[in-house]
C-alpha cells in the first residue's frame, strides 16, 4: 500500500510503486483535470504539485506527473488542479480568474498545467517575483494561445500579492490561492506511513530519463527509489573537496549556498538546463549515469575534474566513460557521490550550451571551462565539451595548451584548432558536423572572453 494525501483526501493505493502518478490520477482516480500530452516531460500539461515533509514543514514543487512514480509520493501531499478548489465551491483562484480575464487560454489543454506550475511557484519558490513566476512556466508549452496573455496574468497576480507576510501558507489561503485545508496537511501527513513497497531492483533516481523510454515496463514494477535515500542527498565542503550526493537534484544544486559560494556562475547555467519541473526531479547521479554525450552536468563536472564513487570505488570522471553509453561500472553498481577539488581562489567556471530552443531543450553543443587568468596570462585551464563525441569529453590537449599562454587572438585560434582535432562530431538532428565544430570554437572564445571581463 502506498499512503499519501491527494488534495484533501487520505489515500492508500494498492498499485505498483512504478505506476506513473499521471495514470493513477486520471485512470484510477478519475481526476481528469490533469492532462496527458507528450508523456515525456516536454509539454507540462500533466503538471501537479507535490508537497514533501521536510524538517521545518512541507516543501512543495511542481512536477511532471507522467515521469513521477507513485511510490515516490508515499507520505507526501499530491495536489491536482481539482485540489485548488475548496470542497463544495467552484470559486476560481486568482491565477485562474486572471487567465480568464486576460484571455490567456483558448483550447485550455495547457491551462491546468500552467496553473499548477504557478501554484507550485507560490508554494515553493524562494522568491515571489514576476521573474520567478515566469521562470516557473519554463516547462509549460502552449500551442494555441501563446504567452503574451499569460505574461499579463502573471504580472497582475504577482503584483497584487501583499508585500509582507508572516506565514506564506496563511497569506496564500487568505488571498484565495489555495484552500484552507492546506493548513491541516502537515499534521495529517505526520500520521501516514511514508514507506513505500519493497523494491524489485530497477534503480530510479529522478526518473526523468528512464521514464521517458521505459514508462510502460516500470508501470508494473516496484523500483528502488534512490531519491528517498537521505544518505545520497547532501552537498557539503570537506576542507579542499566538495561532495555532492548522487540523488541531489538540479534545483537543490542551484539553490545550494555551498555551490553558490564556490561556483557563482553555475546557478545561471542551470536555469538553461531542462525545466523547473524536470530540475526538481533530475539528479546529478542520473545525469552522469545516463551518459548522454550532451549531458549538461557531466560536462560541468568534467571541467571540475570530478571523481565518482561507484559502489565504494572512486573513479575519475574523465575515465568513467568508456564508449557511447558504456561506463566503467557493473550491473547492480550504484553511483553514490560526485566529488571535486575546491577550485583555486580566482578561478572561474564558465558553462555554455547552445540548443535549438533557449529553454527546455538539450544542447547541440555544450562546454565548460574552469580557468584562472592573471595579468593577461592563463595560469590554468580545463575544458570539456558535449555533442562533439560519443561521450562527454574532456579536451585534455586543449586545456594543457592553454595553461601558461598569454591570452591573445593567436592563443584562442590555436586552442580552437587543437579542440577541433580532439573532437569527432557527427551530423544529426541537432546540427551538422561543421556547425558543431563552429559552435565549440565560438564557445571556447566566449569562455575566455568571460575571463577577460572579470
Ligand X SMILES: Cc1cc2nc3c(=O)[nH]c(=O)nc-3n(C[C@H](O)[C@H](O)[C@H](O)COP(=O)(O)OP(=O)(O)OC[C@H]3O[C@@H](n4cnc5c(N)ncnc54)[C@H](O)[C@@H]3O)c2cc1C
| Binding range to ligand X, per CB under 6 A, among 180-188, 204-212, 408-416, 424-432 | 204-212
Assess contact for 421 and 350: CB atoms under 8 A: no
CA separation (Å) from 437 to 300, 320, 354, 392, 428?
19, 24, 12, 15, 13
The option from ligand X, ligand FES, none interacting with 295 (CB < 5 to 8 A, set by class) reads ligand X
> Given candidates 222, 252, 290, 350, which one binds ligand X under the rule CB under 6 A?
290
Q: Is 278 or 395 the residue whose CB approaches ligand X more closely?
A: 278
* DSSP string computed for 23-41: HIIIIIT--TTS--S-SSS
The option from ligand X, ligand FES, none interacting with 364 (CB < 5 to 8 A, set by class) reads none
Q: Is 386 or 451 the residue whose CB approaches ligand X more closely?
A: 386
Q: Is 97 or 267 the residue whose CB approaches ligand FES more closely?
A: 97
Residue 5 φ then ψ, to 5°: -110, 125
109-135: burial string, b at 16+ Cβ within 10 Å, e else = bbbbbbbbbbbbbbbbbeebeeebbbb
Q: Is 27 or 174 the residue whose CB approaches ligand FES more closely?
A: 27
Is residue 287 involved in binding ligand X (CB under 6 A)? yes
In the three-class reduction of DSSP (H, G, I as helix; E, B as strand; rest coil), residue 143 is classed as coil
Q: Is 111 or 348 the residue whose CB approaches ligand FES more closely?
A: 111
Assess contact for 352 and 439: CB atoms under 8 A: no
Binding site for ligand FES (CB under 6 A): 36-39, 41-46, 64, 66, 105-111, 142-145
Q: Is 55 or 357 the residue whose CB approaches ligand X more closely?
A: 357
In the three-class reduction of DSSP (H, G, I as helix; E, B as strand; rest coil), residue 426 is classed as coil
Instruction: Write out the three cell numbers for 72.
Output: 515516490
* DSSP string computed for 358-405: SSS--EEEEEEEEEEEETTEEEEEEEEEESSSSS-EE-HHHHHHHTT-
The option from ligand X, ligand FES, none interacting with 212 (CB < 5 to 8 A, set by class) reads ligand X
Q: Least distance to ligand FES from the beta carbon of 39, Å?
A: 5
> Given candidates 8, 47, 208, 222, which one binds ligand X under the rule CB under 6 A?
208
Assess contact for 444 and 414: CB atoms under 8 A: no
Is residue 203 involved in binding ligand X (CB under 6 A)? yes
Beta bridge partners of 406: 377
Is residue 362 involved in binding ligand X (CB under 6 A)? yes
Binding mask 222-261 for ligand X (x = CB under 6 A): ----x-------------------x---------------
The option from ligand X, ligand FES, none interacting with 43 (CB < 5 to 8 A, set by class) reads ligand FES
| Contacts with ligand X, residue ranges (CB under 6 A) | 40-42, 203-210, 212, 226, 246, 273-274, 278, 281-283, 285-287, 289-290, 295-296, 334-335, 362
Amino acid at each position: 500500500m502506498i499512503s499519501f494525501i491527494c488534495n484533501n483526501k487520505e489515500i492508500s493505493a494498492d498499485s505498483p510503486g512504478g505506476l506513473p502518478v499521471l495514470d493513477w490520477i486520471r485512470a484510477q482516480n478519475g481526476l481528469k483535470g490533469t492532462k496527458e500530452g507528450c508523456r515525456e516531460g516536454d509539454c507540462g500539461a500533466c503538471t501537479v504539485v507535490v508537497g514533501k515533509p521536510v524538517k521545518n514543514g512541507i516543501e512543495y514543487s511542481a512536477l511532471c506527473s507522467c515521469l513521477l512514480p507513485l511510490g515516490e509520493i508515499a507520505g507526501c501531499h499530491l495536489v491536482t488542479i481539482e485540489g485548488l478548489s475548496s470542497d463544495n465551491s467552484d470559486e476560481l483562484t486568482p491565477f485562474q480568474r486572471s487567465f480568464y480575464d486576460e484571455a490567456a487560454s483558448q483550447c485550455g489543454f495547457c491551462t491546468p498545467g500552467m496553473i499548477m506550475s504557478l501554484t507550485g511557484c507560490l508554494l515553493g519558490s524562494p522568491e515571489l517575483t514576476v521573474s520567478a513566476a515566469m521562470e516557473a512556466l519554463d516547462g509549460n508549452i502552449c500551442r494555441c494561445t501563446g504567452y503574451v496573455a499569460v505574461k499579463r496574468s502573471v504580472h497582475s497576480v504577482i503584483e497584487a500579492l501583499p508585500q509582507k507576510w508572516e506565514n506564506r501558507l496563511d497569506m496564500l489561503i487568505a488571498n484565495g490561492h489555495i484552500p484552507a485545508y492546506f493548513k491541516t496537511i502537515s499534521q495529517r501527513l505526520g500520521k501516514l506511513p511514508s514507506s513505500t513497497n519493497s523494491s524489485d531492483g530497477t534503480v530510479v533516481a529522478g526518473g526523468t530519463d528512464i521514464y521517458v523510454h521505459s514508462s510502460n515496463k516500470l508501470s508494473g514494477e516496484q523500483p528502488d527509489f534512490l531519491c528517498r535515500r537521505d544518505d545520497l542527498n547532501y552537498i557539503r565542503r570537506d576542507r579542499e573537496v566538495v561532495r555532492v550526493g548522487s540523488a541531489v537534484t538540479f534545483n537543490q544544486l542551484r539553490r545550494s549556498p555551498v555551490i553558490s559560494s564556490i561556483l557563482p556562475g553555475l546557478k545561471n547555467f542551470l536555469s538553461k538546463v531542462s525545466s523547473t519541473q524536470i530540475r526538481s526531479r533530475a539528479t546529478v547521479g542520473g545525469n552522469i549515469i545516463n551518459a548522454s554525450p550532451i549531458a549538461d552536468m557531466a560536462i560541468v563536472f568534467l571541467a571540475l575534474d570530478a571523481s565518482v564513487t561507484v559502489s565504494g570505488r572512486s573513479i575519475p570522471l574523465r575515465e568513467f566513460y568508456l564508449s557511447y553509453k558504456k561506463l566503467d561500472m557493473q550491473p547492480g553498481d550504484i553511483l553514490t557521490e560526485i566529488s571535486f577539488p575546491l577550485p583555486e581562489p580566482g578561478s572561474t567556471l564558465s558553462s555554455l550550451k547552445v540548443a535549438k530552443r533557449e529553454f527546455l531543450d538539450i544542447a547541440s553543443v555544450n562546454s565548460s571551462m574552469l580557468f584562472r587568468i592573471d595579468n593577461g596570462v592563463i595560469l590554468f585551464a580545463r575544458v570539456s565539451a558535449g555533442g562533439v563525441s560519443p561521450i562527454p569529453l574532456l579536451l585534455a590537449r586543449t586545456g594543457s595548451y592553454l595553461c601558461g599562454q598569454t591570452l591573445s587572438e593567436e592563443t584562442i585560434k590555436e586552442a580552437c584548432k587543437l579542440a577541433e582535432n580532439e573532437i569527432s562530431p557527427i551530423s544529426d538532428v541537432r546540427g551538422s558536423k561543421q556547425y558543431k565544430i563552429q559552435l565549440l570554437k565560438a564557445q571556447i572564445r566566449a569562455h575566455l572572453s568571460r575571463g577577460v571581463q572579470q
